[in-house]
Amino acid sequence: MENYKFLKILQEQDVLYVGLNRPQSRNAFNEHLIEELTHAFSNIPEDILVVILYGEGDSFCAGADLDWMKRMGESSFEENRKSAYLMWKMYETIDSCSCVLISKVHGYVLGGGMGLISCCDIVISEEGAKFGWTEVKLGLVPAVVSTFSIRKVNDSYARRYFLTGEIFDSYTAKHMGLVHEVVKHENLDEKVNEFIKIIRKNGKNGIKLTKQLLTKLRPRTDKEIIDYCIETISRARSSQEALSRINAFLNRGP
């Protein structure tokens, strides 16, 4: 098993645990975490049946690291475009994972974190988790994550929550189809283990083939839309509004 700086990887028999490991920033994305996640999901051992995606510390994933976003906003359009493409590629790699992908969610699940759970087959959340596509609050756009989230939630929910940036609870997330099970925090591991037992009773080849089938059946996002989403977030990052709002957030008091 490879060593990662921003991920915790542990294999237990046919289960691989992948933990986001930037707890001091609520596991927010930067270029390094994106690179490591892409690499990890591109190199899952063949004997793995289930992957458990979770977050170290007090949150699952609170979106993008604002220091990184500020740096990108001050970079060239081409650098922003490359960065946005790498983020899209990370989601696509996770979304195409041939194993059963379960996310164990707690704390905050915001922005880019919403993209992660949108790529998972089964999402188990603690009761107190908070969710939201909060990009508009910073003058940004849920452009890259939208190509994955829109497959999980219908247009009505997307219209409301993409545009308002509201934060909502785990039961609302379950109602809209983002979350499958809501349990008390102390029961998260127990519920995950229940699903592992259920999955292990099934044929491994059948599961792999079914994952391939589901991937083929999903509506594919064509290149024109992908390019549009990448260019949209690239322009939004460098806008004066986004830079001003990100700076205000970074400079606010404790």
> What span, in angstroms and rounded, lies between the C-alpha atoms of 183 and 37?
27
Contact 41, 92 (CB under 8 A): no
Q: What's the pLDDT score for residue 220? A: 78
Query: Is residue 139 situated within a structural domain?
Result: yes
Contact 113, 65 (CB under 8 A): no
Query: Is residue 205 situated within a structural domain?
Result: no
Number of domains in the chain: 1
Terminal Cα distance for the chain, rounded? 39
Two tokens at 114?
């919403």
Q: What's the pLDDT score for residue 249? A: 84
> What is the domain extent for residue 17?
7-200
CATH number at residue 68: 3.90.226.10
Two tokens at 157?
């929910």
Query: Is residue 69 situated within a structural domain?
Result: yes
> What span, in angstroms and rounded, lies between the C-alpha atoms of 200 and 210?
14
Side chain identity at 4, as an amino acid letter?
Y
110-151 pLDDT per residue, tens: 999 999 999 999 999 999 999 999 999 999 999 999 999 999
Phi-psi region of 177 (alpha: psi -120 to 50; beta: other; left: phi over 0): left
Angle between helices 66-73 and 223-237 (to 10 degrees): 90
Query: Is residue 31 situated within a structural domain?
Result: yes
Per-residue pLDDT of the chain (254 residues; tens, 9 = 90+): 678 999 999 999 999 999 999 999 999 999 999 999 999 999 999 999 999 999 999 999 999 998 998 898 898 989 999 999 999 999 999 999 999 999 999 999 999 999 999 999 999 999 999 999 999 999 999 999 999 999 999 999 999 999 999 999 999 999 999 999 999 999 999 999 999 999 999 999 999 999 999 999 988 788 999 999 999 999 999 899 998 999 898 887 44
Burial class for 179, CB neighbours closer than 10 Å (0-12, 13-18, 19+): buried
Residue 34 CA from chain centroid, whole number:
10
176-203 pLDDT per residue, tens: 999 999 999 999 999 999 999 999 999 9
Query: Is residue 249 situated within a structural domain?
Result: no
